[in-house]
Structure 1
């Protein structure tokens, strides 16, 4: 339901969420989570399990500053 609402999907982040989750359970590879940008808003579907959310938030913690900078028009100085 989310995919049609985002302007640009961030497939690499979607893949990394599944990869990190699969280190704990192979079921993570079945995730249909979508990550993307809608306008100037970052949209992230995290898995339904507490562990999946924890993994997802850990990844976002690593990327969020740069992601928000890029969405806001920042460059690669």
Structure 2
């Protein structure tokens, strides 16, 4: 068995309203110096050793992300 992490983030050119809301809230909470926040998703999968990198990419691309507006990265731990 192996643990795999799939990180999904909005593409740079895509507006991130959740990240903008966080960056605006930080100074009100006393946290200064943060100029940008991008919010994404993290998925952790437990997979058999038989699951290939190509299969993991297909899972990330077809199910875990919206490739029109998001980028993804698979990391085996």
Q: TM-score, normalised by structure 2?
A: 0.29
| Structure index of larger Rg | 2
Answer 1 or 2: which has greater strand percent.
2
Q: Which has the higher contact order (CA 8 A, sep 6+)?
A: 2
Answer 1 or 2: which has greater helix percent.
1
